[in-house]
Amino acid sequence: MTSALKNRKTWFNPWLFFEEQVTVGIELIGQVIRMWIATMGYIVRGDFDHIETWRQAYMIGVKSFVVVAITALFTGFAMSLQISRELVLFGADTAIGGVVSLALIREIGPITAGVMVAGRVGSSVAAELATMVVTEQIDALKVMRVSPIQFLVVPRYIAGLVMMSVLSVYAMAIGLVAGVYIAGVAANLPAATFLDSVKQTILDRDFLTHFLKSEINATIVIMFSCAIGLNTRGGAEDVGIATTRTVVWTMTLIFVFNYIVTSLTYAPR
């Protein structure tokens, strides 16, 4: 036994690790694409549980209001404080409202909602579905000829698409209120001047970008959490691994696609 342990290779091979991670990533992306196609098929046919969809909307959206509000509030405080002080130095205090609102609508609102939902909902969904797999509840659904995607994924996806947009607008509004307050305190800027700058800066395409990012974030969180959860094998330890993988994948992809959408939708004002 001792000689066997001594002969075991304990050194780390970066290439094998990289190859393994790439393989796992490609396999996961394939699972997500197949699941999304199947999910859209059920949605187009209207073949899903409406009551479960409302329940998931409450779980995903309503229960996330507090954490999204707190995050958006203090993000708005910090961002507005920094922007206000810098623009005052350049004598451009009247532009504070436009700069703050643009950042909130195009970036902060969708990212804040996406990250909070990924941490609170994505991890929960992955753990729940992984536990169902480990305890053979998914096998029981298949025996009863019930599709796990139809029963578990579709209601969550529809609820996620709707509630992520609501949470993003909610985060944007909370951040804007924080911006108005801090601009008044740090730069003595009247609320009317702040809001007038907002009206002059924000365009319709900014709102389109906002909602596009929200829907992409919802797709990332729900599809990856469900795919990772339903493809978990093993025991209790694997449930924890699935939860961690979900948080890492969803948060990373939210930031990656945020940049991609920003670069594709950017145009001189």
DSSP string, 146-191: --HIIIIIHHHHHHHHHHHHHHHHHHHHHHHHHHHHHHHHHH---H
Domain range summary for the chain, segments of one domain joined by +: 53-265
Angle of CA points 125, 129, 134, to nearest 5° = 145
The encoded tokens of residue 40 equal: 């859209």
Per-residue confidence in pLDDT tens, the chain, 269 aa: 444 444 444 566 777 767 777 787 889 899 999 999 999 999 999 988 999 999 999 999 999 999 999 999 999 999 889 888 888 888 888 888 899 999 999 999 999 999 999 999 999 999 999 999 998 899 898 889 889 999 999 999 999 999 999 999 999 999 999 999 999 888 888 899 999 999 988 888 999 999 999 999 999 999 999 999 999 887 778 888 899 999 999 999 999 999 999 999 877 76
